[in-house]
Structure 1
């Protein structure tokens, strides 16, 4: 092979390499363009489907709507203890007829509970007087005193209760 043929062959190979690089670059650009176009088409058609589905939502007639239950009224129950020497063995009816207890407390003492109606409607508190002096229990339902009792005897238990 002559030098001219070698130069011609080298020029052909260089031209082929440039053509492959150019073709690869064009392919990459076309691939990105196709993916971008497909993404836009999907977004537009999804938006149209959403708009169509919103327009085709079934109509609900007013006579087919279930009535909404009115909110249930509540009762606020406050248990109170007052007196001279504190209280021991405090027991009261909590929410959902649970029994709550405290071993001892400084006075005055109170607990307010919200009870949904119709709950049991039974309220009760008892406490032991630790020493001679007064110990009074009260039950207040929605601002009205419904039960009140007192004792002055040491170790005596005072109990207030109410049913509606």
Structure 2
């Protein structure tokens, strides 16, 4: 004699009250269907009288930088013995000014307009017939000073 009811009977097709497991393909299809339905419901719709809303992009306004300009006073001074030759310096507007020969002492004052944050470029070059001393002042402050001695020597002074 055997033991009655030791194993469970298998489900018979169509038997009421019994659930049978679904295949994994059916579950995946169901999840996709739910995702599509939720997306369709949540996404804004475009109609002929109401276009689809544009993506929200923050508006950024960039103002052009305005450089404040200032006028600076540049004084070139050249001292030494007798004369200097081939004198060249940066004049008003940034142009180069040249003089073949100048009697010493010599000086010139120019007005230069530049951006307030930038220094003004100033330069003087000359050849000597003896000793030469160059000094450049910007708005009253000495920004460069240099000297040379000897016939035919070249002096270059810049700031």
With normalisation by structure 2, the TM-score equals 0.53
CA contact (8 A) 1:151 1:158 kept: yes
Listed as ranges, the matches of 1:34-113 within 5 Å are 72-113=69-110
Structure 1: distance between partners of 2:119 and 2:93: 8
CA contact (8 A) 1:81 1:135 kept: yes
* Consecutive unaligned residues in structure 1, runs of 5 or more: 1-68
Quick check: which has more Rg, 1 or 2?
2
Structure 1: distance between partners of 2:113 and 2:102: 27
Structure 1: distance between partners of 2:69 and 2:120: 14
Shift of 1:117: 2.3
> 2:53 matched to which residue of 1?
none
* Consecutive unaligned residues in structure 2, runs of 5 or more: 1-65
Give the one of 136, 152, 155 matched to 1:155: 152
CA contact (8 A) 1:85 1:129 kept: no
With normalisation by structure 1, the TM-score equals 0.52
Listed as ranges, the matches of 1:137-152 within 5 Å are 137-152=134-149
Relative to total residues, which structure has the larger helix share, 1 or 2? 1
Structure 1: distance between partners of 2:107 and 2:153: 20
Shift of 1:72: 4.0
